[in-house]
Amino acid sequence: MDEYIVEMEGVRKTFPGVVALDDVRFELRAGEVAALLGENGAGKSTLMKVLCGVYPKDEGTVKVFGQAVENCTPKKAQELGIAIIHQELNMCQHLTVAENIFLGREIMHGNRLDKRAMNRGAAEILERLNIDIAPETVVGDLQLSKQQMVEIAKALSINARILIMDEPTSALTAKEIDDLFQIIRKLRADGCGIVYISHRLEELQYIVDRVTILRDGQYITSQNYADITLPEIISHMVGRDIHEKFPRVECEVGDVIFEVEDLNAGRLVRDVNITVRKGEIVGLAGLVGAGRTETTRAIFGVDSKESGEVRLEGKEIMIRVPGDSIRAGIVLVPEDRKRDGLCVRLSVRDNIALPNLDILSGKGGKVDRRQEGRMASKAVQDLKIKLPNVAVDAASLSGGNQQKVVVSKWLARNSRMVIFDEPTRGIDVAAKVEIYHLMNQLKADGIGVLFVSSEMPEILGISDRIVVMCDGRVTGEMPVAEATQEKILDYATRFENKMDRQPA
């Protein structure tokens, strides 16, 4: 494992007004898993897009299997054996597994698709990876984790020897992560070089051989994983020591500010009761499929409820559509920020203004542009959103900064209850801490905070009280001082012994 199959030296890439990469280096060996780490906006994705031919480099050298590569294109990168699996999977949902694997390289019999040959070829690749998926299955019918396995199979079908994985575990359960790691170990044993990009630093110990760290578009260090500690990795990523991974603010707990009573909405929201008091953060825990996201959607009015009451500061709120919830002061930061939380082709300024047009518009319906500008500028300043100016498209921001934009548009209207669904998914450790500080500030200001998280350390680290769901029902509740991972998991797996909790 001594020979480099990827060598990038002195790479520089600029965009209008932004230096994305400045004198960056990166190496990868055959049969190695190399983690590429850094905060959102550090340049990780840009560097990999240069390697894959999506972006041309401005300066520097790129060698693949010892050969210098110039004027690279995505097609040329594929021919060199480079494949990337993006965080947002690029699958044709209406096509079968085999059709996705051979997309663009279809096997033809005369003028017709040879589906039998494609199914046989797909089956061979899936079997090689020990993936139990039928080639004839429509991809849209698969779980996200299975779709990811299909992406890996597709990469191997083009004989990829260099595989780039961008946040591959962000939406997976613990069991699904274990399955993915098994495949990664098998690929490594077969001599495949793997670039692994992840903000879940605790995962690295199981699969990573070496780490390369970028910060603000610059190369910081590259070390064997065995020779560096997690605090050192974090310090290199953010340029400072982060002493509190989960900062906590103690506040006096006041009256109930938010209540959900006997909420029913479909199979995964059954007789749900939740209360949130001033001065506390309530964490909503449970396994995938427990009904947590469905509960937040029903509260907010995205999904219609069959029955139940939602009360804010003692007053029942009639919520039929999200607009009712927003006007009442109950807002949702959704799990999928790009699909449900942002208009990525609009500017940051427009995204912040959109849900607040009722505030920004006068009697004639004309938007006060000065007030809009002040609102956007204040939001960017308050949440420390990194961007050249508020006129840039939301799509151009890193994941962590996109998440901050989603939060900022709600805080601009002085909402009284904020519901976060997986607020730190896909963002780096420093951005996570900033989100935690934001949640603590809301708590200190007397604003209700309810958040969903699949990360147990996060639930235990930030919550003041924890509500656990299983199969659509609340099965347990406890103050964080009494909570343990074992106790939460016990409540999260009580499929046969669900309990109806009375509102506090």
| Closest by CA position to 276, among listed 456, 447, 454 | 447
Mean pLDDT, rounded, for 342-347:
90
Give the pLDDT of residue 397. Answer: 82
Q: What is the per-residue pLDDT across 240-272, written as a single tens digit (0 to 9) for each?
A: 666 677 888 889 999 999 999 999 998 889 999
- Say whether pLDDT at 503 is over 50: no
Q: Report the run of H or E that residue 490 belongs to, with start and end.
A: helix 485-492
Q: What is the per-residue pLDDT across 383-414, written as a single tens digit (0 to 9) for each?
A: 778 888 899 998 888 777 888 888 888 878 77
Both structure tokens of 163: 């595989």
Compute the distance between CA of residue 365 and CA of residue 373 in angstroms, rounded to an integer: 17
Q: What angle do CA 220, 200, 208 make, to 5 degrees?
A: 65
Compute the distance between CA of residue 344 and CA of residue 255 in angstroms, rounded to an integer: 38
- Stretch(es) of the chain classified as CATH 3.40.50.300: 4-238, 256-492
- Say whether pLDDT at 500 is over 60: no
Mean pLDDT, rounded, for 148-166:
87
What is the C-alpha end-to-end distance of the chain, expressed in Å? 60
Spacing of C-alpha 219 from chain mean position:
24
- What rounded mean pLDDT belongs to the chain? 88
- Say whether pLDDT at 279 is over 90: yes
- Bridge-based pairing of strands 108-109 and 59-64 is unpaired
Give the pLDDT of residue 495. Answer: 59
pTM score, two decimals? 0.64
Q: Does domain 256-492 have CATH number 3.40.50.300?
A: yes
Compute the distance between CA of residue 23 and CA of residue 493 in angstroms, rounded to an integer: 50
Give the pLDDT of residue 498. Answer: 44
Q: What is the per-residue pLDDT across 14-30, written as a single tens digit (0 to 9) for each?
A: 987 778 999 999 999 99
Compute the distance between CA of residue 35 and CA of residue 67 in angstroms, rounded to an integer: 23
Q: What is the per-residue pLDDT across 187-233, written as a single tens digit (0 to 9) for each?
A: 999 999 999 998 888 889 999 999 999 998 999 999 999 999 988 99
- Say whether pLDDT at 111 is over 80: yes
Confidence of residue 171 (pLDDT cuts 50, 70, 90): low
- Say whether pLDDT at 238 is over 80: no
Residue located via tokens 């040879």: 114
The CATH code for residues 4-238 is 3.40.50.300
- Say whether pLDDT at 138 is over 60: yes
Rounded percentage of the chain residues whose pLDDT exceeds 90 = 53
Spacing of C-alpha 167 from chain mean position:
8
Compute the distance between CA of residue 271 and CA of residue 13 in angstroms, rounded to an integer: 54
Residue located via tokens 């509500």: 467
- SS3 for 45-56 is HHHHHHHCCCCC
Rounded percentage of the chain residues whose pLDDT exceeds 70 = 96
Both structure tokens of 114: 């040879």
- Say whether pLDDT at 381 is over 60: yes
Confidence of residue 337 (pLDDT cuts 50, 70, 90): confident
Question: What letters, b where the CB count within 10 A reaches 16 and e where it falls short, cover 101-140?
Answer: bbeeeeeeeeeeeebeebbebbbebbeebebebebeeebe
Q: What is the per-residue pLDDT across 413-451, written as a single tens digit (0 to 9) for each?
A: 778 999 999 888 777 777 788 889 889 989 999 999 999
